[in-house]
Amino acid sequence: REGGVPGLVVHLGAEFTAIEVLPGNRIRAGAGAMDVKLAVAARDAAIAGFEFLRGIPGMLGGAVKMNAGAYGGEISDIFVSASGIDRQGNSIQFGPAEADFSYRHSAIPDDVILTDIVLQGVPGDTDRISARLAEVAAARADAQPVNQRTGGSTFRNPPADLAGGRKAWELIDAAGCRGLRLGRAMVSEKHCNFLINTGGATADELEALGELVRERVKADSGIDLVWEIRRIGLPAGQSRGAK
């Protein structure tokens, strides 16, 4: 957000991008490792179960924190453990019970910085894994605006029992929001659960457009869409020193 972050921003550098293949079809990776590179490393080691990561942009730490998933898989399916550091400098370990994964959510506290993660795959065939990676990449390119400036999937899919099985994009489309514009922000015409920066859009414009979409979906279907994108910092006009 344009108002800045009232605190310290920590960037995980190259030291946190390492990927190591372990015995027993396990992989240890730094929280800064890219999801796509992890999927490729698993392929090269003939370890299956990581293919869905080919369709998830971003870094592994964030994927673990939100239990990211796509194309038939999610982090909780392959998670073994994670290490992190809290604001007091304490080292903390998380297993599946402590992470307590649910749909696009984990119980890992917000004040913990994840440092490395261990994931479990199964023996696989390199050619078959390669074919699946290609399928995921093609499906993503066909369905999503991968060559435009977006923040990824904007809203979580609502519980099936509340939305009649409809996904977020279907609710947005039914509410007439496909192609909707606000300033330099636009709802994607290709996949309307993506907000596009058409050039120079501010965080305020993108957030306001998202809230407009939520209002229209609520009016049309009665469903409250929940943001999947995590919005960081203060809105424009708010000082970091303001009370």
- Judge whether 91 counts as a catalytic residue: no
Domain end call among 141, 174, 205 = 141
Six token digits for residue 237: 């006009």
Q: At residue 189, what is the residue type?
A: E
- Judge whether 239 counts as a catalytic residue: no
Q: At residue 194, what is the residue type?
A: F
Kindly name the residue from 28, 81, 178, 228 that is annotated as catalytic: 228
For residue 8, what pLDDT is reported?
Answer: 85
For residue 241, pLDDT over 90 is answered with no
Say yes or no: 68 and 187 in one domain.
no
Kindly name the residue from 76, 106, 153, 221 that is annotated as catalytic: 153
In a domain, 1, yes or no: no
For residue 236, what pLDDT is reported?
Answer: 82
101-120 per-position pLDDT tens digit: 999 999 999 999 999 999 99
Up-side HSE of residue 14: CA atoms within 13 Å toward CB? 0
Q: At residue 138, what is the residue type?
A: A
For residue 105, what pLDDT is reported?
Answer: 94
Distance CA 43, CA 51 (A): 8
What burial letters (b/e) apply to 145-175, b meaning 16+ CB within 10 Å? beeeebbebbbbbbeeeebeebebbbbbbeb
The range of the structural domain enclosing residue 99 comes to: 14-141
In a domain, 160, yes or no: yes
Up-side HSE of residue 3: CA atoms within 13 Å toward CB? 15
In a domain, 3, yes or no: no
Strands annotated E in 183-243: 185-187, 194-197
Up-side HSE of residue 42: CA atoms within 13 Å toward CB? 34
- Judge whether 2 counts as a catalytic residue: no
Say yes or no: 64 and 76 in one domain.
yes
Question: For a pLDDT cut of 90, what percent of the chain falls above it?
Answer: 85
Say yes or no: 28 and 136 in one domain.
yes
Kindly name the residue from 1, 26, 28, 104 that is annotated as catalytic: 104
In a domain, 226, yes or no: no
For residue 163, what pLDDT is reported?
Answer: 85
In a domain, 2, yes or no: no
Say yes or no: 83 and 201 in one domain.
no
In a domain, 236, yes or no: no
In a domain, 89, yes or no: yes
Tell me the average pLDDT across 67-76. 95
Tell me the average pLDDT across 156-164. 89
175-195 per-position pLDDT tens digit: 999 999 999 999 999 999 999
Domain end call among 90, 111, 141 = 141
Query: What total number of domains does the chain contain?
Result: 2
For residue 162, what pLDDT is reported?
Answer: 87
